[in-house]
Amino acid sequence: MLLVGSVRLLYRVVDRGGRRALKAVADSQRSLFGPTGPPKELCRRLLAKHPSLSAGVGNGLSFSCSGCSGRLDFIAGMTEIRFEVGERARERVEVSTPSFVTQLAEDDPNAFRVRGSEDLYRKVFRDEELAALLRNLEASFEWTFGPAGFFLQIRDLPRDEEELWRWMKLAFRLLESVPGFERDESVDVAAIPRSSLAEGQCQVCGASLGQGAIVYCRRCATPHHEECWTYARECSTFACREQRFVRR
């Protein structure tokens, strides 16, 4: 048993060191604000792609999810996403990147550092895919949910607008996984002018949305060619996974 434990310890040390080395190399290969510009530029591009978002205070963004108003800000080299949850939150839970000591104590290399309500933690992360998305952030994080609000702090800046959008969708999914904050199944998709659609592209085939029958994701309202939706069988937006659509 002692030998097995020593081997596990050595493996974790090597694995953790290797991950840090790879991240350091990746970070050294990008400029101060990443390869595609500063956060303000990334937000501008994201606003152009997702009209449901709006400009926030400073260089950030504002939005809503599950009836809660939210905002995104860049603070001292970190990305912070928060929601005002009001009196709807009854329990508190904190989930963060595990320390090496935590992994040893739990005897689990994938263990998170958890404080607060274990019952709420189990309910939120009964979907193993959600936990996997957090582990694949490639950055340290801390998520806090409770009466004081929803806070997701990622200790890094996004490399491009697509990575920023993935982080935001992760925050949406975390909020929707809390009991009482599930997504609203009755979604009202506003009509989008054909002239605006012509300027966009289908995320499945890459062709213009100005021609052919168009359908909208029931969850996030992303437009698709109907044929492309039938082919993909679900929304093409990262982590949405909605399988139902509505027509205009």
Q: Measure the CA–CA gap between 229 and 205, rounded to whole angstroms.
A: 10
Residues 146 and 46 in one domain: yes
Q: Which ranges of the chain have pLDDT less than 50?
A: 13, 23, 26-35, 106, 185-191
pLDDT at 170: 93
| pLDDT score of 98 | 73
Which CATH number fits the domain that encloses residue 53?
A: 3.30.1460
121 lies in some domain: yes
**Cα–Cα distance measured from residue 89 to residue 203, given in angstroms and rounded to the nearest whole number:** 36
Q: In what order do the strands lie in the sheet with 68-75?
A: 54-55, 61-65, 68-75, 78-83, 149-154, 141-146, 93-96, 113-116
Instruction: Give pLDDT, residue 155.
Output: 92
Instruction: With beta carbons less than 8 A apart as the criterion, state whether 53 and 60 touch.
Output: no
Compute how many other C-beta atoms are within 10 angstroms of the C-beta atom of residue 239. Answer: 16
Which residues, at least 6 apart from 31, have a Cβ–Cβ distance to it below 8 Å? none
> What is the residue range of 215's domain?
194-247
What is the reported pLDDT for 73?
93
What global pTM score does this model have? 0.62
What is the pLDDT, as a whole number, of residue 17?
Answer: 53
**End-to-end Cα separation, the chain, in angstroms:** 63
Round the average pLDDT of the chain to a whole number and report it.
78
Domain assignment of residue 133, yes or no: yes
Start-end of H helices in 125-179: 128-135, 161-176
Both 51 and 167 in one domain: the answer is: yes
- For residue 95, the number of C-alpha atoms closer than 13 Å in the C-beta half-sphere is 22
- The verdict on residue 28 lying in a domain is no
Q: What pLDDT does residue 107 have? A: 53
Q: What total of structural domains would you count in the chain? A: 2
